[in-house]
């Protein structure tokens, strides 16, 4: 398929969210019930105890931010496909890239269909130590469950650790329509940046490697339209999100 041009872009997002948002003293997660280290470590040990295949090899399946910001050492990366799961914006984000008053929506693997992404083989001899930081990063918000999935690659299938939506959790937003998702992503911005930036980075990473995801493609076009409409409605160069932005950091996932 020939290269496609994205409608959403960094300049448009910057006009809609010109100022970083700082938290109000509660941290970038605000009042999110973040998982403590002891619980996270216990869950990691339980997951590793169930790991199939060679104990000296650990693969991780990436479909969102881990595609463009892995933050772990890896010795190999393969394009991969998992079946029975699809990529969707289905987790509320009331911190980090959203706020309690203006929540965003984040990606997860939800049931059904299939998903193309990357399979990373973690580097190093102590695989628990290597995977622990990304485990903490993904699991602390209590939106995901860890699953061992079969990742199909050109070199053959590998068992890969994946983070799928916790459908029983209070963050699950699987019934939102595409229009509602686009509304939230266009409006939301938190201490680590706009939700639209997360969408842009993910769809750009997919497109760069020939992964054409219909949900991501539809979302970037809808979000770009929402932002353009907001900018036109205010008849000015910028739009402020709620709550009122203050100086702070926009880095992160």
- At 86, which CATH number? 3.10.490.10
Q: Tell me whether residue 80 is in a domain.
A: yes
Please indicate, yes or no, if residue 102 is contained in any of the structural domains.
yes
Which residue positions in the chain have pLDDT lower than 50?
A: 237-252
* In-domain check, residue 216: yes
- So what's the pLDDT on residue 25? 64
pLDDT of residue 45: 98
120 to each of 23, 29, 151, 158, 240, how far by Cα in Å?
A: 33, 28, 10, 10, 38
> Is 48 contained in some domain?
yes
Q: Are the C-beta atoms of 68 and 201 separated by less than 8 Å?
A: yes
In a domain, 3, yes or no: no
pLDDT value at position 244?
A: 32
Residue 249 lies in a domain: no
Catalytic residue from among 138, 152, 197, 207 = 138
Domain carrying residue 93: 10-234
pLDDT at residue 207, as a whole number = 97
| Residue 240 falls inside a structural domain | no
Q: Output the pLDDT for position 22.
A: 82
The pLDDT score that the predictor gives to residue 3 is 77
Q: Is 138 part of the annotated catalytic residue set?
A: yes
Q: What are the backbone angles phi and psi of residue 183, rounded to the nearest 5°?
A: -60, -45
On whether residue 218 sits in a domain, the answer given is yes
C-alpha dihedral sign at 91, 107, 104, 23: positive
């Amino acid at each position: 398929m020939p290269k496609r041009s994205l409608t959403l872009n960094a300049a448009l997002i910057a006009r809609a969210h010109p100022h970083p948002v700082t938290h109000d003293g509660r941290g970038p997660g605000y009042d999110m019930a973040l998982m403590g280290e002891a619980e996270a470590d216990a869950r990691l040990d339980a997951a590793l105890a169930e790991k199939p295949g060679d104990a000296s090899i650990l693969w991780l399946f990436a479909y969102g931010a881990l595609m463009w910001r892995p933050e772990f050492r890896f010795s190999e990366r393969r394009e991969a496909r998992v079946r029975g799961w699809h990529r969707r914006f289905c987790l509320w984000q009331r911190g980090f890239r959203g706020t309690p008053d203006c929540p965003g929506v984040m990606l997860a693997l939800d049931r059904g269909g299939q998903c193309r992404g990357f399979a990373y083989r973690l580097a190093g001899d102590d695989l628990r130590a290597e995977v622990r930081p990304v485990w903490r990063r993904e699991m602390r918000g209590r939106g995901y469950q860890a699953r061992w999935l079969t990742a199909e690659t050109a070199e053959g299938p590998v068992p890969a650790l994946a983070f799928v939506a916790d459908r029983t959790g209070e963050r699950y937003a699987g019934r939102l329509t595409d229009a509602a998702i686009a509304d939230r992503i266009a409006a939301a911005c938190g201490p680590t940046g706009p939700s639209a930036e997360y969408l842009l980075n993910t769809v750009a990473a997919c497109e760069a490697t020939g992964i054409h995801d219909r949900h991501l493609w539809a979302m970037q076009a809808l979000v770009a339209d929402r932002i353009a409409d907001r900018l036109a409605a205010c008849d000015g160069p910028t739009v402020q999100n709620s709550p009122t932005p203050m100086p702070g950091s926009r880095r992160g996932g």
